[in-house]
Amino acid sequence: MKRLDVALGQRSYPIVIGRGAIGEAGAVVSRSARRAVVVTNAVVAAHHLPALRASLDAAGLAHDVVLLPDGESHKNWATLHDLLTRLLELKVDRTTPIVALGGGVVGDVAGFAAAIYQRGIPCVQVPTTLLAQVDSSVGGKTAVNHPLGKNMIGAFHQPSAVLVDTACLATLPARELAAGLAEVVKYGAIRDAAFFGWLERSMAALLARDDEALSHAIHESCRIKAEIVAADERETGERALLNFGHTFGHAIETATGYGTWLHGEAVGTGMMLAARLSERVCGLEAGARSRVESLVAAAGLPTVPPKLAPDRWLDLMGRDKKVERGRMRFVLLERVGHAVIRADVDEAALASVLAA
């Protein structure tokens, strides 16, 4: 097992990475509780719930299981309401942690419920998709979607631990694996040129699910995110860099209907658009822009955005969480491994990217 720590003072927590990490759940939960509520969905439960329950049983922990509907289209108020109702029916108190077993939808909805139920209860994240393992389970962002915008209703609520079991990736569909690789590419692009170069050399191994390559990619992604979150927990500055490709990507998801494009697919295409805008606005070298585009394509991600009218793009991006005082802010690259936040993007440059 590898371990990282998200350094947030009293809210610090470990990220445990390795095969069999689900087996650590009982020991983690039993340190502060005698009961738990597992939140998952039927698809994930069929593969991974027995191992989690065995760990909780071995630690002498009573536990209930709540199943959520599967898919991004269910990451909404109705699902959140149903989960909160179930917690009330189970008479969950403030000492009872939620154990979120699943991908980003399960983690976000369960985490949001933990943030607001009785004004906050503990949450242990056990992510089972690559995207959740490298991104959404770490950092305490929780939310549900709204028809007018993705992740617009939520709260910051740090987990008490993140358990990343790399064995879960063996059952992950190829499309979901590629979607997770988009977030991995993001970390190299914004923060670590050497890691980006390693990804260029190792993409075939990652797609083949080589355990050593996946473990390294997850560790480095979580390391970078943990550093950024520790420096800017509430996204008042540097943490916004983690949204590279997301301004375009969230617009794609909202426009096409949640779940039509996977989040990572939309982010991958969004990074390509952001790289093209970076070339026009920040002077990103054409070779660097080409490297971003080539790595996105090598990961098996879509390379052509949906056909949206420029006004539709602008309307959707205008609701982005990075908008300040009515001005859109974009995460752009000055070079591979170094991102900046720019609010002075020329309208003509943006229009040319959208038109192309």
Q: 63, 74, 157, 246: which is the annotated catalytic residue?
A: 246
Query: Is position 225 annotated as part of the catalytic site?
Result: yes
Q: Which of 220, 235, 265, 279 is catalytic?
A: 235
302 to 66, 130, 150, 349: CA distances (angstroms)? 34, 17, 20, 23
Residues 6 or more apart whose CB falls under 8 angstroms from that of 62 comprise: 34, 35, 36
263 among known catalytic residues: yes
List 225, 276, 289, 329, catalytic entry: 225
Two tokens, residue 356? 């192309």
Q: Let me know: does 73 contact 43? Beta carbons within 8 Å.
A: no
Given 91, 119, 201, 307, the catalytic residue: 119
Q: Is 186 a catalytic residue?
A: no
Catalytic residue among 63, 191, 219, 250: 250
Give the CA distances from residue 239 to residues 163, 203, 242, 335, in Å, rounded to whole numbers and listed in that order: 22, 26, 6, 18
Residues 6+ apart with CB under 8 A from 173: none
Helix (H, G, I), strand (E, B) or coil at 155: strand
Catalytic residue among 41, 145, 151, 243: 243
One of 239, 276, 289, 329 is an active-site residue; which one?
239
Q: Give the integer Cα–Cα distance in Å for 74 and 80.
A: 9
Q: Is 239 among the residues known to form the active site?
A: yes
Helix, strand, coil tally for the chain in percent (to 5) = 55, 20, 25
24 labelled catalytic: no
Cα–Cα dist 184/216, whole Å: 11
Distance, CA of 206 to CA of 288 (rounded, Å):
22
Active site residue 146: no
From 141, 186, 216, 321, the catalytic residue: 141
Helices (H), the chain: 25-30, 42-58, 77-89, 104-116, 130-131, 174-191, 193-207, 211-231, 246-256, 263-281, 286-298, 310-317, 347-355
CA distance 277 to 313: 14
Q: Is 36 helix (H, G, I), strand (E, B) or coil?
A: strand
Task: Kindly calculate the radius of gyration of the chain based on its CA atoms and give it in whole angstroms.
Answer: 20
* Catalytic annotation, pick one of 150, 216, 263, 321: 263
334 is catalytic: no
Query: Is 212 noted as a catalytic residue in this protein?
Result: no
CB-count burial class (<10 Å; 0-12, 13-18, 19+) for 144: buried
Catalytic residues: 119, 141, 183, 225, 235, 239, 243, 246, 250, 263
